[in-house]
Structure 1
Amino acid sequence: MLIMKVVFRPSKVGLGKMFGSAELPVLEALWEKGALTGREIYEEVRRSKELAYTTVLTTVGRMVKKGSIRRKKRDGIYIFEPALKKPEFERQAAAAVIKGIVEVSPSYAVSAFVDILTQYDADKLDEILNIIEEKRKAEGR
Structure 2
Amino acid sequence: MTEPTGAELDILKVLWEESPLSARELHQRVSEKRDWSYSTTRTHLNRMVEKGLVRRRDSHGLAVFQAAEEKVSLLGGIIRNFSMKVLDMGGSMPASAFADSELLNEEELAELTRLLEEDES
- Fold in common (TM above 0.5): yes
Matched, 1:63 2:63: no
One-letter identity of the residue aligned with 2:56: R
Q: SS at 1:84's partner residue? A: coil
* RMSD value, Cα: 3.0
Mind listing any 5+ residue stretches in structure 2 that lack a counterpart?
98-116
Q: Which runs of 4+ in 1 moved over 6 A?
A: none
Q: SS at 1:51's partner residue? A: coil
| Pairing 1:108-123 to 2, within 5 Å after superposition | 109-110=89-90
Cα deviation, 1:90-135, whole Å, max 9, x if unaligned, reads 1122234445569xxxxx633xx69x86xx6xxxxxxxxxx59x94
Cα deviation, 1:48-107, whole Å, max 9, x if unaligned, reads 2211010011111001101111101111111100011211111122234445569xxxxx
Q: SS at 1:54's partner residue? A: helix
Question: Number of aligned pairs?
Answer: 100
Cα distance in 2, alignment partners of residues 44 and 101 from structure 1: 32
What is residue 70 of structure 2 aligned with on the other side? 85
Cα distance in 2, alignment partners of residues 49 and 97 from structure 1: 25
Mind listing any 5+ residue stretches in structure 1 that lack a counterpart?
7-17, 103-107, 121-130, 136-141
| Pairing 1:1-141 to 2, within 5 Å after superposition | 2=1, 5-6=2-3, 18-20=4-6, 22-98=7-83, 100=85, 109-110=89-90, 135=121
How has the CA–CA distance of structure 1 residues 34 and 95 changed in structure 2, closer, same or farther, with 3 Å as cutoff? same
